[in-house]
Structure 1
Amino acid sequence: MNLQKAQKQRIKLRIGLSSPSGFGKTYSALLMAYGMTQDWSKIAVIDTENGSASLYAELGEYNTLNLEAPYPPERYMEALKTCEKASIEVIIIDSISHEWNGKGGCLQIHEQLGGRFQDWARISPRHQALIDAILSSNCHVIITVRKKIDYSMDKDSNGRTKVVKLGLKDITREGLDFEMTTFFEIINDNHLVIASKDRTGLFMNKPEFVINASTGKKLIQWCDQGFGTGEEKVRLEIEACESIEELRLVYSKHNKIQDTIKPMIMAKKQLLENIQSQVISNTQIIQQSKNQENGIDNS
């Protein structure tokens, strides 16, 4: 058991986004995801909202995976694995509420088992397995959550029962927001949001704002702090190349900034070619020397 200095580890973002229907969760999630990747093809939406994610297809060529009922946790986990295997960078789960309160979701499974408190011992591990799959994913994950108006039955001073409106409540198991890197709440139909939880420190206690691509850029920049960003990261990749083939792979991978990195690529290519030529030359000199020692005429 040893003490060690705390060091920031490279992480994948877990972003929550909640609101009532019609406040723009899907659209906001897509813009944020694009800001994180700058590449629509690296975004996938696990869509439980009857194909609503495809309504914004004009934004770019992102991917969709339509998930229909029933909605047990295991189907979400299977969808996550499908996206991960396809080399997706940002997965949007739109929405996770069906896993809790949809057809075949946790609440319905509990009811089918008998609705007893002890029946949660069979359901909670399945729900937690999904949360663990999200937290351990090698992709950035954005989760949308539906909100509903929450009520309670109270008694007034005369002992009469009355319905009390408590406000909006997320339709998912309590505590999901604490697992997120940042959790946004869209507070009105003008798409204004606030951060109710924020480990990045970028959005907490700040004025309301509208999520767009720059929100995603800020989050990725926060992730990359201390690891090198932008051209610096690519420069380190180029410097690490030990062959022309590795150099070609780096160049093709960063197709969005090829014009910017081309001078670095060409300089490294020239260096590798010079090294290769020197190796060949040295090999020839050594071979000639050996031949002379053995009395072989090289002319």
Structure 2
Amino acid sequence: MTVEFLPATRAAAKARIALAGPSGSGKTYTALALATALGTTAVVDTERGSASKYAGINGWEFSTIAPQSFAPASLVEALAAASTAGFEVVVVDSLSHYWMGVDGMLEQVDRRAKNGNNFSGWKEAGPDERRMIDALVAYPGHVIVTLRVKTEYVVEQNERGKSAPRKVGLKPIQRDGIEYEFDVVGELDLDNTLTVTKSRIPTLSGAVVQRPGSELAETVRDWLADGEDAPGPREYQEQVELCTDKKELGELWHKVKRLGIGGAALQDADGYSMTLLQYIEKRAHSLGSPS
């Protein structure tokens, strides 16, 4: 196999933003402020309808679902439905539920553990989690997730010189290293101040933003849009639908895998959810064996 390095080019991209913070830091509000400034918004609301309480505020309009099960595969289905409906932004509020909620990863591991061996549980449940992350990263629009954090109280001196407890956020409740999947990661405090802890956008590196909203969204969108337009998962799905050549489908399969969008979740004509790679494979199978 020949390995060839090619000149790097910057492609226009979509936002991948994670907002972490303790209860009361404004994670849902901030996610909606950013999302509605970026485009038509779908919210996967795991927080008992908390997002809907903001409907109409600041003119915000968005659509929601309120899942009761947080199996990673169910989020893939939700992303496929959002993609098919053409939502430009998806908010997952919060992604922590898909780790520690009902049917989340921790429960999946416990159920699949054999003879009390959690290693076997992680081995079996791991692919479901990987597919979920791939679907998030490959979504054809912007993605914003919120993350709960473990909290504790620290005693500090207040402005009057007296000792007073203050709630602080610690580690996000999700898999270790989840922040690597996002372009911008920020921590919100109880004053709704965002501290950017990771950014692929140079101007936001280390930024501290009070009450982040539409201005931050515009900064992210403008930077990500400054590049060459490239086909996304929906465009490749359309190509697959028109393709009648199995060799061409094979080339498409390798191309979308190389581009890192093969895990994008979508729906077929019957409403079944699958990845873009699976969609190509299904199309190839429908063509049968070459005559």
What range is the shorter-chain TM-score in?
A: 0.5 to 0.7
Larger RCO: 1 or 2 (CA < 8 Å, sep 6+): 2
Give the match for residue 221 of structure 1: 222
Give the match for residue 232 of structure 1: none
- Residues of 2 paired with 1:85 and 1:74: CA distance? 17
AA aligned to 1:22 is: G
1:36-58, CA deviations, whole angstroms, 9 ceiling, x for partnerless residues? 23xxxx11111011111101012
Q: In the TM superposition, what is the alpha-carbon distance from 1:113 to its structure 2 partner? A: 2.8
- Residues of 2 paired with 1:103 and 1:29: CA distance? 23
Give the match for residue 62 of structure 1: 62
- Residues of 2 paired with 1:113 and 1:65: CA distance? 28
- Residues of 2 paired with 1:88 and 1:167: CA distance? 32
Give the match for residue 210 of structure 1: 211
Give the match for residue 9 of structure 1: 11
Q: In the TM superposition, what is the alpha-carbon distance from 1:208 to its structure 2 partner? A: 4.3
> Where do 4+ consecutive residues of structure 1 move more than 6 Å?
none
AA aligned to 1:58 is: G
1:237-262, CA deviations, whole angstroms, 9 ceiling, x for partnerless residues? xxxxxxxxxxxxxxxxxxxxxxxxxx
Q: In the TM superposition, what is the alpha-carbon distance from 1:25 to its structure 2 partner? A: 0.6
Q: In the TM superposition, what is the alpha-carbon distance from 1:86 to its structure 2 partner? A: 0.9
Give the match for residue 132 of structure 1: 134
- Residues of 1 paired with 2:187 and 2:131: CA distance? 25
| 2:173 maps to 1:171 | yes
- Residues of 2 paired with 1:207 and 1:61: CA distance? 27
Q: In the TM superposition, what is the alpha-carbon distance from 1:10 to its structure 2 partner? A: 1.7
- Residues of 2 paired with 1:128 and 1:215: CA distance? 29
Give the match for residue 105 of structure 2: 106
Alignment of 1:180-199 (within 5 A): 180-186=182-188, 188-199=189-200
More off after superposition, 105-114 vs 188-197: 105-114
1:81-119, CA deviations, whole angstroms, 9 ceiling, x for partnerless residues? 111111100000111111110011111122223352232
Q: In the TM superposition, what is the alpha-carbon distance from 1:223 to its structure 2 partner? A: 1.1
Give the match for residue 38 of structure 2: 36
AA aligned to 2:107 is: Q
Alpha carbons 2:93, 2:145 under 8 Å: kept:
yes
Segments of 5+ residues of structure 1 without an aligned counterpart are 151-165, 229-299
Give the match for residue 148 of structure 2: 146
1:19-66, CA deviations, whole angstroms, 9 ceiling, x for partnerless residues? 1122111110111112223xxxx1111101111110101232211111
- Residues of 2 paired with 1:207 and 1:46: CA distance? 27
Give the match for residue 51 of structure 1: 49
SS of residue paired to 2:215: helix
Q: In the TM superposition, what is the alpha-carbon distance from 1:147 to its structure 2 partner? A: 0.5
Give the match for residue 19 of structure 1: 21
Q: In the TM superposition, what is the alpha-carbon distance from 1:204 to its structure 2 partner? A: 1.3
AA aligned to 2:54 is: Y
Alpha carbons 1:194, 1:203 under 8 Å: kept:
no
- Residues of 2 paired with 1:134 and 1:218: CA distance? 21
For residues 167 and 226 of structure 1, do their structure 2 counterparts lie closer, same or farther at Cα, with a shift above 3 Å needed? closer
For this pair of structures, how many residues does the alignment match? 208
Give the match for residue 273 of structure 1: none
Alpha carbons 1:185, 1:194 under 8 Å: kept:
yes
- Residues of 2 paired with 1:226 and 1:133: CA distance? 23
AA aligned to 1:224 is: A
AA aligned to 2:16 is: R
Q: In the TM superposition, what is the alpha-carbon distance from 1:126 to its structure 2 partner? A: 0.8
- Residues of 2 paired with 1:205 and 1:48: CA distance? 29
TM-score, normalised via structure 2 length: 0.68
AA aligned to 2:171 is: K
RMSD: 2.0
1:104-145, CA deviations, whole angstroms, 9 ceiling, x for partnerless residues? 111112222335223210011111110001111111110111
Q: In the TM superposition, what is the alpha-carbon distance from 1:227 to its structure 2 partner? A: 4.9
- Residues of 1 paired with 2:65 and 2:169: CA distance? 33
Segments of 5+ residues of structure 2 without an aligned counterpart are 153-167, 230-291
AA aligned to 1:99 is: Y
Q: In the TM superposition, what is the alpha-carbon distance from 1:167 to its structure 2 partner? A: 6.4
AA aligned to 2:105 is: C
SS of residue paired to 1:202: helix
